[in-house]
Chain A
Amino acid sequence: MRKFSTLVCFFFFFLFFCSQPRRQPGEVRVRLVGDPETLNPVNYQNAGGLQIINLLFQSLLTVDLADEKLKPALAARLPAVERQDSVTLFTYQLRDEAEWTNGSPVTAADVAFTLKVLKAPLVNNEHLKPQVAFIKDIVLSGSKTFTLVCEGYTPEMELLTGDFFILPAYLLDPEELLTSFSLAELSGNQEKLAENKQLQQFAARFNNADFARNKDLLKGSGGYELEHWATGQYITLKRKENWWGKATGAASSYLTANPERISFQVIPDNTTALLALKNRQLDVLESIAAAEFDQLKQNESFKQDYALYTPTIYDYTFVGLNTRLPKLQDKHTRQAIAYLLDPDNLIKVTLNSYATRTVGPVPPTVQEFYHQELPLYSYNPGKAVKLLTTAGWAREKEGWFKNINGRREQLTLDVIFRAGNTVYENSALIFQQNASKIGIPVTVQAMENSLLNQKLKSQEYDMFFRSLSGNPFVFNFKPLFHTSFAHSGGSNYTGFGNAESDALLDAINTAGNNTEKAKLLKRLQEQLHEEAAIVSLYYQKGRIAVHRRFTNTKISGLKPHYDVSSFLIKD
């Protein structure tokens, strides 16, 4: 027994040496869910990686989270757009002040180099290559001016022409291996190009792990430099001295590099992250679970140190029904299901009311385009029964039956959703209960993400819960709702669409002004509501905590929901 007590004494003695790590006041600590794995600006793997690269490198355009507007970053102003028959020309002018870490200016040639890297064969650029496939050529006119020649026209093009990180040619291609190729050449036959020795040499160099992690190579035009990366633990960034963004006049309100040091901490588990926050080891934490967020709201000592925010984020949750199935072909059947979903209750139970209901995919915060007059589907089993009878279903002892194409079919539903998402899971279970009350048997099945995507793509499902990340500036719903995307493997999973909705979707993309666009978008919302192939549920509210010693946090509905580079320490 004596031995045991010595052991206990020793243990407590040891405890004195353990405590919470000290913090430096100038450092902002942010949580990452997983290691970014690579910080290569053309091959990043996850949202965390993207967030960090955004501080090291810059694009032509950026979104100012303060007002959620598209603004010029490396570009001096928004591009001049000129639409011709089959091509659209975007002319950009780069900022005179913009420079790389070594002091040399950012030029149009760097933009051309970047596009070549994005299009070159053998380079690990598969992730971003499709995104710039519409850019066919670049015409340089002067060292700071260039024109991008793009195929056709879609409304998101302006955003996409300015949405890739510009790379320093001097650093990444010192041997000028790509200089002799034109962009148009690189868009050509990839197999033949892949045999070119010069391209092979460049790809081998660029794919090297050095370009994913080496702090001497990952130097962009952004206000930060990579300081240290301990895999799976943390990544620290250091502010550049005398960064050019400070001298850009009005633009310096959103081209910022304020905190001296930003440290990204890898914490996979949500409970651990929350505990780290409570221990003041983190300065920013987002996506806090709804129930825990409510607890934090009650915690006075916590609230002295941290401010809590709930911006409406552009995260659109909806239910999809497979209209190709004979049993779900009739829109009355689908409407009946919509009346059984009970979104108000779902929001209350699964999200502690941190969500805003919506009639369609247009966010309610974008008032100009949102259809205010449409009624929301609410829980109404009586109406559901009536609609089912209208659709030709007959209530029998075991459920609802109908003769379709000479075959007796029962109305059953198999609901699928991504495994591990408790919000979907609980929502599906609530729906299961509601449906069973009027005699519709529902099975609920969680599925691993890739399996779920496969099922949706090959249209082997009845009903699914899913969410999409939207935004307030581009509304191109064509891939989601147009019949030309409704084939097997296409992105219109539900098979929604008719001649009118197709025409609407095309017209929305080419609408000349916002009044016309609003009219068309509202008509589309009506159609979606009427057809009920996609039953819109809600837009989520973000749940974010930020330490009170910071101001100018730019909390926003857009990802990553705050701008860590703009954080200022309160005096």
Chain B
Amino acid sequence: MFFFLLKRLLLALPSLWLIATLIFLLSRLLPGTFGAENILKESGDFYSTGTAAARKAAYASFLHKTYQDLPLFYFSIQAAAEAGTPAANLPEQERKLLKKLSWHYGNEEAVAAYVNCIKELRQELHIRDNAGHLANIEKLYTVTEPEALLATVKETVSNMGNTAPSLTSKLQTSAATLVRRQQPYRAFLPAIYWHGTQNQYHQWLTKLLQGNLGNSFRDNRSVFTILKEAIQATILLLLASMLLTTLLALELGIFLQKQSGRRWRRIILPFLFFTDRIPVFLLALLLLLLFASPDYFQLFPVYGLGYYTGAEENLLQRILFMAPYLVLPIICLVFVNLPYLTNQFYRTMADISHTEYIKTAKAKGLAEGTIIRRHILRNALLPIITLLSDFIPALVAGAVVIETVFAIPGMGSLLVQAVQARDYPVMVGIVLVVALAKIISHLVADFFYTLADPRLRLTAS
């Protein structure tokens, strides 16, 4: 048994690694980064707090400090047209134009020459402080189509007349060369670049293998501490609601299976279908409005997990103190998951009740309760275990809404905050924990399978 579980655990490691890697890479595809949100953002105010240049410099140093300026992975694939462009030392405006034109014309040398001409011309006009002509040039940054490009260049040059003649003629020739020597097909050719171990993924993975999940971008606490804090509330909430849901679903399933429950079936099953359709947030708000509002029944506290008393408490006191705060969230989670589970339990048991051996048991004259609990239930356990093992990740998803509405600081709300703030280390940490929970729940399920059905033990060993 032990070796079997160990083998499963080892087999699970590659999938854990794959999930983490995918999340690591995919999360980086989100638009915006943590720094961009906080540092680059304009103050949105009637006066500027710092120049754009100063903000950009601060942002660059932040990226460097958090290794975010490194390439993402060991290698990268780019279109051949874009790959060779030396964009690093260009101002942002030119860099964007360069990228746009490279995709369009596929000849990075000609593009770079053309963009450089525009840049030089702009700098020259800046020195001469010629606002009129500067506005003229702005148009050059918007055109990409060959005809429009040539036309705009021509128009700009004729508008400028005798200002900086050498630069304008250079611009015209470079534009002509660009259009003449275009190789648009290169936008479809891939070019692979090797970055070596100096990349973000490598940094992260080496740290992870040493058991370090990194530090949060937001408050620099270690991700491990943050997760530990958030998981406490969630685990209490999830375990309690899962236990309650399972017990209730089982009892209800058995009740419906009984002869005496037949009458109720017509009422309970449609009612469960109905509650299944109520969205979680609506149910949560409804419960709050009904049971925590002075307008109806003011029975429960509205939000949070308690308040500061100043006294030292042991674990039991803390849980008792928290209990009233958890009642509504737990009821909510139970209500959300009960219909599906009950229905599944009932159906599985109903299927088994038609088998030959149940008929035999009935013919033997066994009591109804005994038949259901000893014969039907035991045989129905296998699908039930499968169902329950899939339950944990689904519960975390449901907890997001509940944690937000009831202001409980758990994993769900942490995940939402981390994604919104682009706090990558926390984000990846949470996904790892959920993946781990999933894997462990499968292992536990395997263990329970063998308990429920001794025949499986033979195949396992």
Q: Which residue of A is nearest B320, CB measured?
A: A17
A450→B36 CA distance, assembly (Å):
8
Total chain B interface residues with beta-carbon distance under 8 A: 79
Instruction: Tell me the smallest distance from the CB of B155 to a CB of chain A, in Å.
Output: 10
Task: Write out the residue numbers on chain A whose beta carbons fall within 8 Å of the beta carbon of B176.
Answer: none
Residues of A463-515 contacting chain B, CB below 8 A: 468-471, 474-480, 483, 485-491, 499, 502
Total contacts A to B, CB within 8 angstroms? 222
Q: Which residue of A is nearest B31, CB measured?
A: A451
Specify which of A14, A126, A208, A324 is in contact with B35 (CB 8 Å cutoff): A126
A379→B81 CA distance, assembly (Å):
50
Interface residues of A (CB under 8 A from B): 3, 14-15, 17-21, 34-35, 37-38, 40, 45, 121-122, 124-127, 129-133, 154-156, 159-160, 190, 207-209, 212-213, 227-228, 230-234, 236, 263, 265-269, 271-273, 275-276, 278-279, 281, 301, 324, 361, 448-451, 453-454, 458, 468-471, 474-480, 483, 485-491, 499, 502
Report yes or no: A479 in contact with B294, Cβ–Cβ below 8 A.
Answer: no
Q: Does B428 contact A (CB under 8 A)?
A: no
A231→B304 CA distance, assembly (Å):
11
Residues of B19-62 contacting chain A, CB below 8 A: 31-32, 35-39, 41-42, 44-52, 54-55, 57-59, 61-62
Q: Does B299 contact A (CB under 8 A)?
A: yes
Report yes or no: A470 in contact with B45, Cβ–Cβ below 8 A.
Answer: yes
Task: Write out the residue numbers on chain B whose beta carbons fall within 8 Å of the beta carbon of A275.
Answer: 288-289, 292-293, 302-303
9 tightest Cβ-Cβ pairs between the two chains A and B: A232-B409, A130-B50, A450-B32, A18-B324, A156-B47, A130-B54, A133-B54, A38-B219, A126-B58
Report yes or no: A45 in contact with B218, Cβ–Cβ below 8 A.
Answer: yes
Pairs A–B under 8 Å by Cβ, sample size 30: A14-B327, A17-B323, A17-B324, A19-B301, A20-B301, A38-B220, A45-B38, A124-B220, A130-B55, A190-B61, A209-B215, A209-B219, A209-B220, A228-B308, A232-B408, A233-B407, A234-B307, A234-B308, A236-B308, A263-B307, A265-B304, A266-B409, A268-B407, A269-B407, A278-B295, A471-B46, A477-B46, A485-B52, A487-B93, A499-B132
Instruction: Tell me the smallest distance from the CB of A475 to a CB of chain B, in Å.
Output: 6
Report yes or no: B407 in contact with A267, Cβ–Cβ below 8 A.
Answer: yes
Q: Does B245 contact A (CB under 8 A)?
A: no
Whether A487 contacts B46 in the complex (CB less than 8 A), given A234-B307, A234-B308, A268-B413, comes out as: no
Q: A480-B46, A499-B131 are in contact. List 15 more A-B contacts (CB 8 A).
A: A18-B323, A19-B298, A20-B302, A38-B220, A45-B219, A230-B308, A231-B229, A234-B308, A275-B289, A278-B295, A279-B292, A279-B293, A281-B303, A468-B44, A477-B46
Q: Which residue of A is nearest B264, CB measured?
A: A1
Contact with A along B398-431 (1 / 0, CB 8 A): 0000001111111001100100011000000000
Report yes or no: A121 in contact with B61, Cβ–Cβ below 8 A.
Answer: yes
Task: Write out the residue numbers on chain B whose beta carbons fall within 8 Å of the beta carbon of A266.
Answer: 304, 407, 409
Task: Write out the residue numbers on chain B whose beta carbons fall within 8 Å of the beta carbon of A499.
Answer: 131-132
Instruction: Tell me the smallest distance from the CB of A481 to a CB of chain B, in Å.
Output: 11
Report yes or no: B36 in contact with A458, Cβ–Cβ below 8 A.
Answer: no
Q: Which of B69-77, B135-143, B177-185, B389-397 lies at the interface with chain A?
A: B135-143
Task: Write out the residue numbers on chain A whose beta carbons fall within 8 Å of the beta carbon of B138.
Answer: 324, 486-487
Specify which of B45, B285, B294, B299 is in contact with A278 (CB 8 Å cutoff): B294
